[in-house]
Amino acid sequence: MKNTILVALLLVTTLIQAQDFQGMAVYESKTSTSEIMKNIGGNREITPDMKASIEERMKKMFEKTFILNFDKSASIYKEEEKLDAPGQNGGGGRMMTSMMGGGGTQYKNVKEKMYSVDKEFFGKEFLIKDSLPSYKWQMTAETKKIGEYICYKATAVVATDPTDFRNFRMRGGDKEKEEKEKAAKAKDSTDANKKTNFMQDVEQIKEKTITAWYAPEIPINQGPDKYWGLPGLILEVNDGTTIILCSKVALNVKDKAEIKAPKTGKVVTQKEYDETVTKKMEEMREMYGGQRGGGRGRGF
């Protein structure tokens, strides 16, 4: 068995060393909507029916397919293009994608240790350029099979994306939530029409522990989304809420993709983009949080 794996690894390594080598991997992304709804469940304005409706819509919205095209040193990662269903509003979907930290074409160059991604947010195009995040991977001997590949487990604690609403939760623990709910129910009926400032009741989850499974048989230092840095292609990533799982791998593909960094949009660093989005979210909080004189939002 070991000899078979060594021979396969040698063949793939030889293949990858070829000047025109390119591969492709398909990933399916799914998010546990129940976890998200648990995080926002303390909002008393959301009825059980509304909660069920939101959860069903989110489930469909979060089920996405992505394509990773890669060569020896670089990759592009992009959502598979699909036609909107009849009557579906594509604009709202694009805005939600932006608020989930996604969208655009993500380019990673592990040789130069940089990445760039083009994003549209509230009608304005941005081009984020920055250094690749450095993951302190803890590699283990634990294995499992994904497709035809033996994968090894690695974990890392990572800072969360402040522009992705999946990384937010209600402030305080369960006890505090219960106390708030009791106090809300005890309020006089004359306050029933008073709106709750939802954004003031949530906080960002600053860190998450992610689990990755990588295949040493494919000795490429790449992975889905922003993940990289393991001695093999990452075939699965789980951050406790979202799972990105590889469903297909093709090496030495004939129809080669153009693996180049995107060029369209206002050039910003990741920090500058996050600050822009956070500022806009704060503006929306002020507009829709029950304060007087909402008015139209300011531009960038």
Q: What is the DSSP string of 33-73?
A: HHHHHHHHTT-TTS-HHHHHHHHHHHHHHH-EEEEEEE-SS
Q: Which domain holds residue 150?
A: 2-185+196-288
Q: Name residue 280's amino acid.
A: K
Give the span between the Cα atoms of 101 and 118, in whole angstroms: 11
For residue 96, tell me if it sits in a domain. Answer: yes
For residue 293, tell me if it sits in a domain. Answer: no
Give the span between the Cα atoms of 122 and 66, in whole angstroms: 23
Rounded mean pLDDT of the chain? Answer: 78
Give the span between the Cα atoms of 117 and 108, in whole angstroms: 9
For residue 295, tell me if it sits in a domain. Answer: no
Q: Exposure pattern of 248-282 as b/e (b: 16+ CB <10 Å)? A: ebebeeeeebebebbeebeebebeebbebbeebee
Which pTM does this prediction carry? Answer: 0.76
Helices 48-62, 33-40: inter-axial angle, 10-degree rounding: 140
The pLDDT of residue 27: 98
Q: Taking a C-beta distance cutoff of 8 angstroms, is the pair 122, 130 a contact?
A: no
For residue 296, tell me if it sits in a domain. Answer: no
Q: Token pair of 157, please?
A: 């604690």
For residue 269, tell me if it sits in a domain. Answer: yes
Q: Taking a C-beta distance cutoff of 8 angstroms, is the pair 139, 152 a contact?
A: yes
Dmax over Cα atoms in the chain, in whole Å?
77
Stretch 95-120: mean pLDDT = 81
Give the span between the Cα atoms of 108 and 116, in whole angstroms: 7
The pLDDT of residue 61: 75
Q: How confident is the model over 8-47, as pLDDT tens digits?
A: 555 566 566 666 789 999 999 998 766 666 655 555 566 7
Residue 10: C-alpha distances to residues 15, 92, 217 (Å): 9, 48, 9
The domain total for the chain is 1
For residue 20, tell me if it sits in a domain. Answer: yes
For residue 97, tell me if it sits in a domain. Answer: yes
| Beta strands 124-131; 266-268: pairing state | parallel
Give the span between the Cα atoms of 83 and 90, in whole angstroms: 9
For residue 110, tell me if it sits in a domain. Answer: yes
Residue 287 has a CB neighbour count (10 Å cut-off) of: 15
Stretch 51-64: mean pLDDT = 75
Listed range (69-78, 190-199, 254-263) with the worst mean pLDDT: 190-199
φ/ψ (deg, to 5) at 263: -125, -10
The pLDDT of residue 25: 97
